[in-house]
Amino acid sequence: MTTRTKNDHLLATEISMNKTVLAIIVCSMFALPASAETISGGKITSVNAAATSFNYSKKKKNWTFRVTDKTVIRVGKKTGDLSDLKTGQSVIVEFHRQGNALAALIIGIGF
């Protein structure tokens, strides 16, 4: 007959926790595209609500970002929408490349 000791129980708990941590790491790898980039320090130069896009400029460089159904717009601590983007605003943009286009993942206003 085998008896379980406290160490056996701790070992089983540790193995279970390791599996949980591994599962979280694997899942988080798929949460955001690996090629996500961030840009800040520039301003919105125009917003095209019909095309769901906006232009951004920083140090004489210009980018056009697409706003998709997956884009999250944050106004301070609140969730916003495309109508919150205004010409001249300073924003932080986390984005990824889709071919030649840039798709905004997160747009931060007021940070």
The CATH number of whichever domain residue 93 belongs to comes to 2.40.50.320
Q: Do 64 and 80 fall into the same domain?
A: yes
Q: Do 22 and 45 fall into the same domain?
A: no
Per residue in 24-76, pLDDT tens? 554 444 555 557 899 999 999 999 999 999 999 999 999 999 999 999 999 99
pTM of the model: 0.68
The whole-chain average pLDDT of the chain stands at 81
| C-beta separation of 11 from 19 below 8 A | no
Q: Number of structural domains, the chain?
A: 2
Which of 30, 42, 31 has its CA nearest to residue 107? 42
**Calpha distance 94→96 (Å, rounded):** 7
The whole domain housing 45 covers 37-109
Q: Do 54 and 74 fall into the same domain?
A: yes
Query: Distances from the Cα of 20 to the Cαs of 14, 24, 28, in angstroms?
Result: 10, 6, 12
Q: Do 53 and 74 fall into the same domain?
A: yes
Q: Do 104 and 52 fall into the same domain?
A: yes
Q: Do 46 and 26 fall into the same domain?
A: no
Q: Do 47 and 76 fall into the same domain?
A: yes
Q: Do 76 and 92 fall into the same domain?
A: yes
Instruction: Express as a percent the part of the chain with pLDDT over 70.
Output: 68
Which has more pLDDT, 25 or 98? 98
| C-beta separation of 103 from 37 below 8 A | no
Query: Distances from the Cα of 51 to the Cαs of 54, 91, 94, in angstroms?
Result: 9, 19, 19
| Residues in the chain, overall count | 111
**Calpha distance 88→64 (Å, rounded):** 15
Q: Do 16 and 55 fall into the same domain?
A: no
